């Protein structure tokens, strides 16, 4: 069933419906999730495993780290890792197709127990709470992401565990993000907190951000503001899942706009979890998502090849 409705807000779902063991609630969750991802590409989810206490403690630790002097933060910059671990300073990332860098700084946490050639985490020794809470949040959101991917697999009429081996020890990243206070008279022309972009990965889980500003582009060209209740995470389709499903599940363009002038001198903190598979996952579009009305849109490539292409476009990696 195709849902052609134009949403004024993103649908809200309860992950407990899927994990409940009740076949009817479970089936309804799968259809509602798939339908929303086929339409606007975003949902708000509750019962994802993060408690309010964990969330508040994490935001506190993130604020504490970003309030550190620049020379302390720069100790944890690792340009050799192309922005995949540690601190990434102001003006380093530019959205695809934009000339001006986004007005933000951020910190990347990867797999807590890296294997093979995967880089180890770069952790700030002065801030043990930051380390402890980001790793705990990583594990919690990775678990929620795996559960959501099981529901997505069922919606696509694949085996429920289709994604399981592909995301095991995957390249997922928890990003602690600080959109720093702005002087309205000095903001570079065209610079925004995060320019319009699609996410690279399979799905993104965004903890209810601490301020307004996130908007999603509806298919009729209208920007819809997204707000999450404190107990929700916002989940959206990334480009890898869009490619795999030949645009059946839609990676929707979104942005973080600058606040009104009177709020420009305040910080905004945001903590997304980007769920990636391992680099060897084949993103060739599923045969079941290709037909006469939906011809194949994308060339075949692995997740690693696609990630590499996008990191170069973002300015985080040189060719």
Rounded distance between C-alpha atoms, residue 105 and residue 316, angstroms: 13
Average pLDDT over residues 121-137: 96
Return the number of other C-beta atoms located less than 10 Å from residue 227's C-beta.
15
Question: 165 pLDDT exceeds 90?
Answer: yes
What is residue 35's predicted lDDT score, i.e. its pLDDT?
A: 95
Closest CA to 67 of 184, 219, 230, 178: 178
Q: Which two tokens stand for residue 273?
A: 């979890």
Average pLDDT over residues 139-157: 98
**Tens digit of pLDDT for each residue in 9-54?**
899 999 999 999 899 999 999 999 999 999 999 999 999 999 999 9
Closest CA to 241 of 116, 117, 124, 156: 156
Q: Which has the higher per-residue pLDDT, 119 or 99?
A: 119
Average pLDDT, the chain: 89
Helical (H) or strand (E) element with 12: strand 12-14
Helical (H) or strand (E) element with 42: strand 42-46
User: In this structure, are residues 158 and 70 in contact, taking their beta carbons and an 8 Å threshold?
Assistant: no
**Tens digit of pLDDT for each residue in 202-251?**
999 998 755 568 899 998 999 999 877 888 999 999 999 999 999 999 99
Question: 319 pLDDT exceeds 60?
Answer: no
Average pLDDT over residues 69-75: 93
DSSP code per residue over 207-223 = E--SSS-EEEE-TTS-E
Closest CA to 234 of 268, 269, 274, 205: 205
Residues in the chain: 319
Phi/psi of residue 254, nearest 5 degrees: -140, 165
**H helix count then E strand count, the chain:** 8, 12
**Tens digit of pLDDT for each residue in 48-68?**
999 999 999 999 999 999 999
Question: 261 pLDDT exceeds 70?
Answer: yes
Closest CA to 245 of 42, 38, 39, 40: 38
236 to each of 135, 208, 261, 304, 307, how far by Cα in Å? 22, 13, 29, 20, 18
Of 70-84, 96-110, 224-238, the one with minimum mean pLDDT is: 96-110
């Amino acid at each position: 069933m195709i849902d052609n409705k134009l949403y004024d807000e993103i649908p809200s779902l309860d992950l407990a419906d899927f994990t409940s063991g009740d076949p009817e609630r479970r089936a309804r969750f799968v259809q509602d999730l798939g339908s929303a991802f086929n339409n606007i590409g975003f949902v708000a989810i509750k019962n994802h495993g993060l408690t309010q206490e964990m969330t508040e403690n994490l935001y506190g630790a993130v604020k504490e780290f970003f309030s550190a002097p620049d020379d302390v933060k720069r100790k944890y910059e690792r340009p050799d890792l192309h922005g995949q671990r540690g601190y990434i300073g102001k003006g380093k990332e530019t959205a695809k197709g934009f000339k001006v860098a986004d007005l933000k700084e951020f910190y990347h946490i990867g797999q807590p127990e890296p294997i093979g050639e995967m880089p180890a985490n770069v952790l700030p020794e002065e801030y043990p709470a930051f380390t402890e809470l980001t790793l705990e949040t990583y594990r919690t959101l990775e678990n929620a992401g795996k559960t959501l991917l099981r529901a997505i697999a069922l919606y696509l009429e694949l085996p429920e565990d289709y994604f399981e081996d592909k995301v095991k020890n995957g390249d997922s990243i928890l990003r602690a993000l600080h959109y720093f206070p702005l002087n309205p008279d000095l903001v570079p022309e065209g610079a925004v907190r995060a320019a319009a972009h699609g996410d690279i990965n399979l799905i993104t889980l965004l903890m209810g951000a601490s301020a307004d500003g996130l908007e999603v582009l509806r298919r009729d060209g209208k920007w819809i503001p997204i707000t999450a209740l404190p107990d929700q995470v916002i989940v959206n389709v990334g480009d890898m899942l869009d490619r795999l499903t030949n645009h059946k599940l839609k990676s929707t363009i979104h942005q973080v706009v600058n606040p009104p002038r009177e709020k420009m001198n305040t910080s905004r903190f945001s903590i997304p979890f980007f769920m990636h598979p391992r680099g060897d996952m084949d993103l060739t579009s599923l045969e079941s998502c290709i037909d006469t009305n939906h011809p194949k849109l994308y060339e075949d490539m692995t997740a690693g090849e696609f990630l590499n292409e996008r990191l170069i476009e973002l300015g985080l990696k040189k060719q």
